[in-house]
Chains A and B, each alone.
Chain A
């Protein structure tokens, strides 16, 4: 039993729904109690889908448990087939139905429906949403793909895009355009956008492009084994990764890796002098493994940030994640407990967070700007405009969306210079963000005048900040000085100073300690 307040991933049958909802001509019959239909709203509200997910629920109730829930399942499956006439059907159980062991696969088989029926075994008490999506796609491919001759022209399948995926809609479009630049056509993009009939002809592609290892790797491995299709290991998120991906694809397809980069703006946007202020900004990165690892590479080598924390919530990818973190001299944070993530972020005191909707909230609580790089995401992360993460346009989008939450470069300098200005102070927030204007009272005396007391014994007393035993104590004077440091670097200054003090056995941090630490850590 594990106490959970918020979860990064839903149960595995929600992963199956993401596959089914992304597809056409497929129907999913889910043995589940009333209430499990909540999952429909993830798609109709968060993703703003204009169709109901193609899912029929048995909605069994307590009074059915003594009677025959199996009959209820069979009736539901039969009626769903008659009403929706799908090309293929998925059948499975949610967590509660798993406990009553009705065997939806066996029951559906006995119905002898005139379409392929694919049973799903998704263990709800040990696995989660991404596993459910990956396994569902894998089973679909296993059941429907037929070996067939390769297409005359070079084609590839795009694997892994699902309903409710972070920017999947636009990534598929962007990677399709990128492949077109290399003279490669897309055979089938699946699961999202595909029908069971499309899945059936996946075997004619020359190779596979795995967009999202979290939801497509099982299918990629199966297709390699049974259709001899090699698959790409590089996910094209970021400039470097996109270029590496192009080379990988060129190798697989036997085409030239030279592509037109004229739409790519990130490198110049990053090199132009306005971006100098981004140098060495400390970022904490957390999300699914694929997006987090890609974000770390972009942060470190394309924007010039310093990666101070890196991790993922999907344990299945712990190994590559640990290796990636090691390259930045970090220990990967692998957890699905958001309180643990919050603690790690608070301890690292980064200047920016790149994360999920959870980290956005953590950032809000800690006063740290955050950009979203990975699912799970809210309705505002399904934008109306084209905004991929992959390919060259994806890199452009990432530059914009990561920079937006930060205070702009010159503004940052002005805040440092005139931090006591009543209408332009660091607590007012970045000037291009609305809704935070919090003007100080014009006539309020500056803090210095009110607290003009010299450094007396009283002033040395610990102030406000909670102090654990054995940790150094800030003098009032030093703390006042700390407050003058703009908020976006204050966390770092505090942390560095305390570290400096502890290392030298200094138990009282004075103004001098603060500036000695600053000199020590100067870069």
Chain B
């Protein structure tokens, strides 16, 4: 990798660890994109009315093609006896699968209430798998707020799939993390042009395309929040290719370069394949960098994308991060990004939202990246914000989206400059 490293990166920067009120989603929210990505899967949350309400609110505009997720809402009688809760669950699952014969994978998703009453969804999944095999495979993971934050729901889901992936001795590249279809196609195309293959993807669109894993599998992550999945794959004998995450021209090139090195792709061939899309990405980013250059930036914790995004915004768009907050900091996964992020910003992990709001007000950044609960209140106080959830609901990875990614950050600033009406 011939990256232009900063004099000093952020890998050794001490991390401000906070705990207090967390203004973040729980892991259940990941279902909002996972259920579209995996087309023969259904996500059944075993939880409360709050869980159902959260999914509805997080989905924003409800997805009225009948959603492939639902909530089995626990009622008083379920809390009274767990045996009854299991019987009830079996009945609801049977009814659901009868109504949706297209479903091949069913995920029982644990929630805060199901964890607190210790409803054993792992055993329930085994029991239900035995009942509904071979047509439907039943797995479980937790999306509970007491264990997971936002994107960790995807991590928990993929990690739950790893033990049951078929074994293989083949030398294959496994790309891990849910990407929008258009981006996934671009990535597969780039890897094919580089002559890298076969390429398998987790999660697959359909259960029939489920990848295999074994000691000759090498895997690359496209999302920084997949710590448990990483560990589960390593336990299956697969080897991780560490790399910066494929955001922006530089991140994408570094990611591809790491994979290409693993597969012995020559430097010339790499250049031949990547020169044109690199130039396109640089051009697209440059248009937005004019707006973003020298602007200060403050990240509230949200999706764990914060470190790689700060790296992209600092290095390719010329922004100055003041604080980069993230729910969890997996140094093993985001280490290469930390090396590239020039020293300077406060790195914070976890949250005490009131204290962080105090720091944000004192820092008075030009752009604040935060969740939906904070964005309008901060705008009303005169700050310019980018709501973070868009970053996981928009195609932002790899070369062709680099400009769009920069655009997500420049648009609020351009908009602020356009509006002359003032706001209360």
Q: Identify the A interface with B (CB < 8 A).
A: 1-7, 9-11, 13-14, 33-42, 44-46, 48-52, 56-62, 64-65, 76, 79, 83, 94-96, 99-100, 123-126, 128, 357, 361, 364-365, 378
Contact = CB atoms under 8 A, between A and B. Distances in A.
A76 B19 CA distance: 12
B58 to A, nearest CB: 6
Given A1-B88, A3-B70, A95 B112 contact: yes
B379 interface: yes
A62 B143 CA distance: 12
A3 B377 contact: no
Contact of B372 (A45, A50, A128): A45
B377 A33 contact: no
A11 B145 contact: no
27 contacts: A1-B85, A1-B91, A1-B92, A3-B95, A5-B69, A5-B71, A6-B52, A7-B56, A10-B49, A14-B53, A34-B24, A34-B146, A35-B24, A35-B26, A38-B26, A40-B373, A41-B371, A44-B373, A46-B57, A50-B376, A52-B373, A62-B146, A64-B146, A94-B50, A95-B49, A125-B78, A361-B64
Contacts of A34: 22, 24, 26, 145-146, 149
B116 A96 contact: yes
B49 A11 contact: yes
Contact of A96 (B56, B113, B377): B113
A99 to B, nearest CB: 5
A126 B113 CA distance: 14
Given A37-B22, A49-B377, 15 more contacts: A1-B85, A6-B56, A6-B67, A33-B26, A33-B144, A33-B145, A36-B26, A39-B53, A42-B57, A44-B377, A50-B376, A51-B380, A62-B144, A96-B48, A96-B112
Contact of B146 (A39, A44, A96): A96
A37 B52 contact: no
Given A33-B145, A35-B54, A378 B61 contact: yes
A453 to B, nearest CB: 36
Contacts of B72: 1-4
B328 to A, nearest CB: 12
A1 B78 contact: yes
Given A35-B145, A61-B147, A95-B113, A44 B372 contact: yes
Nearest to A52: B377
Contacts of B54: 35-36, 38
Most buried by A among B19, B21, B62, B91: B21
Contacts of A49: 376-377
Contacts of B23: 37, 40
A126 B74 CA distance: 9
Nearest to A76: B21
B130 interface: no
B88 A79 contact: no
Interface string B3-41: 000000000000000011111111111000000000000
Contact of B50 (A6, A11, A45, A65): A11
B62 A6 contact: yes
Contact of A99 (B70, B73, B92, B113): B113
B116 A41 contact: no
B29, B44, B52: most-surrounded residue (chain A CB, <10 A): B52
B361 interface: no
B144 A128 contact: no
Interface in B149-164: 149
Contacts of A52: 373-374, 377
Nearest to B88: A1
B64 A364 contact: yes
B31 to A, nearest CB: 12
A365 B64 contact: yes
A46 B59 CA distance: 12
A355 to B, nearest CB: 13
B345 to A, nearest CB: 24
Given A41-B373, A44-B375, A50-B379, A62 B50 contact: no
B358 to A, nearest CB: 10
Interface string B129-149: 000000000000000111101
B192 interface: no
Contacts of A83: 354
A99 B80 CA distance: 11
B377 A50 contact: yes
A36 B91 CA distance: 28
A125 B76 contact: yes
A234 B295 CA distance: 57
B75 interface: yes
Nearest to A12: B49
Which of B28, B64, B145 is packed against the most chain A CB atoms within 10 Å? B145
Contact of A50 (B28, B85, B424): B424
Contacts of B85: 1
Nearest to B95: A3
Contacts of A14: 50, 53
Nearest to B148: A35
Most buried by A among B29, B89, B91, B144: B144
B332 interface: no
Contacts of A4: 49, 52, 70-73
A27 B115 CA distance: 29
Contact of A51 (B24, B44, B46, B377): B377
B211 to A, nearest CB: 30
Contacts of A61: 146-147
A62 B148 CA distance: 9
A83 B352 CA distance: 13
B117 interface: yes
Given A14-B53, A38-B58, A1 B48 contact: no
B147 A95 contact: no
A33 B112 contact: yes
A50 B385 CA distance: 13
Contacts of A79: 354
Contacts of A10: 49-50, 53
B66 interface: yes
A361 B75 contact: no
